[in-house]
Structure 1
Amino acid sequence: MADIDVVGLGVATLDILSLVDHFPSGEEIQRAEDMILQGGGPVATAIVALARLGARTAMLDAVGDDWRGDLIAAELEHEGVATRHLRRCAGCTSAMACVLVRKADGARTIVYLPGTTSELQAEDLPRHAIESARAIHVNGRHAAACRQACQWARQAGVLVSFDGGAGRYRPEMRGLVPLADVCIVAREFAERYTMESDLTAAAARLVSDGPRLVVITDGLRGSWVYPAGRPGFHQPAYPLPQTVDTTGCGDAYHGAFLFALLQHMRPEAAAAFASAAAALNARRLGGRAGLPSRAEVEAFLAERGVNP
């Protein structure tokens, strides 16, 4: 798989997303403004974001041989993501989520059903695919396999990108951060990992664990970028006239930041590029419908006088 830029290792899901006037507070029937069926999952969506931008990508996961797994695989393939190492597990179901999106502000509430597949183990991984890629992108799912993949990547000089999402911190992830070259985490993850509420102190702790670039994201408040050995800086979020859905915006940021780094952009340019991609993704219902092309990101930034 020497033709692959980025290999993703994580969980691919199927999402049902409904645009609603309000979140139910009790038993009721409500007519949706819109409804779509779409693939999801943090790493999988970041990988699709990379593919939309022009990267050659592949996804590693275990999904069921059910209709949900069929749709998950078909959508990835439609986006140009290689699925030759996507394991299909006989007799198992694939993960699914129901997402209600509030029309007024794009806020979400999520109900999630895990699949019945077992986590991938180290022996399930295509080592050559990992070692021949330019980067791997992980978030700690398939824990044992994830650690091994990161170790192989580091030994082979492959860039390791780690996604620490909000609400996803677990103590065992402490072993992954030192293996990451690029560590992009939500503010809540950073605070729990470091036990620091001050972002500069939290970033310093994360950088001291080994990553050469740490980014702490905080939604509409933007992101704080800390290259090792250099002063950190703040990248504001780009507001849109109307936000439809914030699902997948963080994943779009991850994918776009990694894409920018692979294009040899400096951290300042990469942060602007990623923030633009995240903003553009909020234009449409669903975590992937609004994922932009490279030309769209560059046009968005040019309108704001930014040349990454």
Structure 2
Amino acid sequence: MSRPFHVLGFGALAIDDIIYVDRPLSSGKGKVTRRAMDHGGNVATALVAIARLGGRAAFIGWLNDQPSDDVGGLQLERDGVDTSLAPRAAGSLPIRSVITVDPAGDRFIAYDDDVLHGTSLDLSDDVLAQAPVLLIDGYSTHSEAVVARARALGLSVVADIEWTVGPATDRIMALTDNLVLPLAFGRSYAGQTAPEAVLDALWSQDRSAVVLTDGENGCYVRQRNDATRWHFPAYAVKAVDTTGAGDCFHGAYCLALAQGKAPLDCVAYATAAAAIAVTARGGRMGLPDDSTCRQQMAAEGAPVPIPLAG
């Protein structure tokens, strides 16, 4: 069935103040070399990545009911993300973040998230049915019933979760068929260390895939109807700023999934997209188009998946 969008998403929408410094973050202090302001947020940036890649994305999280105060929503529209389906509420504001980036591209994010999270519990099934994929993040615990309805309607739910708030997070993860998580969080949540053990601990019969991302070390994948656990190496690139790299990965993964690709193929596309994204400053400045991703994937020496031993 043809749908208006490839991906719907609700979750973090942020305004980022970015500070670049001349020393590693571990140094304790250093000189500011550059300041910038950008728009960010896990889900919001992932949806922008989808738009840059040529996909159709819609943000369905809370936005401000006053257009003049709706800074985050207006920027999403400028970046090609539809906001016409989003619920609106008085006083709804973006998260504010301060991001410190060192010369290696590593960063520390300090954020103030005392804002309205998730989406309206009154969001209709007609809205949810407008895409085959729903992207959520850790704030989706505020709208668990919406996630449950999306799964009941047959949407693939992709979760970008980096922390737990206890049983509510457990329930969201149980509703998710594509867990795409940082390896560090997966290890903490599962109580395992080896990537293959974490993949297996997070697996359930309702999963389509578990993907554990690990920055420059690549990622680890288990997918349905495949006895092999996979390691997908990262591209060898010079990182300028890793802000938004994970969001770009999630966006590209979601778009490939919406296009009917198998999870391992989604990871191949997402790995290429994220590798390009880290070569520019800011969370959205380096987001690639589809042609650039395809060229990256076709280049000599591009990484290929490797079976995990054991």
Normalised by the length of structure 2, the TM-score is 0.87
Q: Structure 2 matches for 1:269-284, cutoff 5 A?
A: 269-284=265-280
Letter in 2 for 1:57: A
- Aligned residue number for residue 160 of structure 2: 163
Verify the 8 A CA contact 2:12 2:137 in the aligned structure 1: no
Aligned ranges 1:1-308 → 2 under 5 Å: 2-22=3-23, 23=25, 25=28, 30-33=31-34, 35-64=35-64, 70-91=70-91, 93-102=93-102, 104-117=103-116, 120-123=119-122, 125-145=123-143, 147-165=144-162, 168-171=163-166, 172-208=168-204, 210-230=206-226, 231-240=228-237, 242-304=238-300
Q: Structure 1 counterpart of 2:145, which letter?
A: Q
- SS of the residue aligned with 1:133? coil
Number of residue equivalences: 299
Distance 1:229 1:248 in 2: 31
Q: Which amino acid aligns with 1:214?
A: V
Q: Against the structure 1 CA distance between its residues 68 and 228, is the aligned structure 2 distance closer, same or farther, given a 3 Å change threshold?
A: farther
**SS of the residue 2:62 aligns to:** strand
- 1:304 counterpart SS class: coil
**Equivalent position SS for 2:70:** helix
* CA displacement 1:181-211 (0-9 Å, x = unmatched): 2111111221222212222122112122631
CA RMSD of aligned residues (A): 2.5
Deviation at 1:117, TM superposition (A): 3.2
One-letter amino acid of the structure 1 residue matched with residue 11 of structure 2:
G
Q: Is the 8 A contact 1:238 1:276 kept in 2?
A: yes
Contact preservation (8 Å) 2:157, 2:176: yes
Which ranges of structure 2 fall in alignment gaps of 5 or more residues? 305-310
C-alpha displacement of 1:297: 0.3
The one-letter amino acid paired with 2:97 is: A
- In the aligned structure 1, how far is the partner of 2:9 from the partner of 2:118? 15
User: Aligned partners of 1:88, 1:69: CA distance in 2, in Å?
Assistant: 12
After the TM superposition, which of the residue ranges 63-72 and 113-122 deviates more from structure 2?
Answer: 63-72
Task: Give the C-alpha shift of residue 92 in structure 1.
Answer: 5.0
Output the amino acid matched with 1:279: A
Aligned amino acid, residue 105 of structure 2: G
- Write out per-residue CA displacement over residues 141-173 of structure 1, whole angstroms, 9 at most, x where no aligned residue: 14241x2222212221111111122xx233221
Are the counterparts in 2 of residues 4 and 133 from structure 1 also a CA contact under 8 Å?
yes
The letter of the residue matching 2:136 is: V
Secondary structure of 1:183's aligned partner: strand
Q: Tell me by how many angstroms 1:134 deviates.
A: 1.1
Question: CA separation in 2, counterparts of 1:40 and 1:220?
Answer: 21
Provide closer, same or farther for how the CA distance between residues 2 and 156 of structure 1 changes in structure 2, counting only shifts above 3 A.
same
Q: Is the 8 A contact 2:235 2:302 kept in 1?
A: no
Residue aligning to 2:308 = none
1:2-37 deviation per Cα after TM superposition (whole angstroms, max 9, x unaligned)? 4122110112011111222135836x8x4433x322
3-state SS, counterpart of residue 17 of structure 1: strand
The farther-off stretch of 203-212 and 180-189 is 203-212
One-letter identity of the residue aligned with 2:212: I
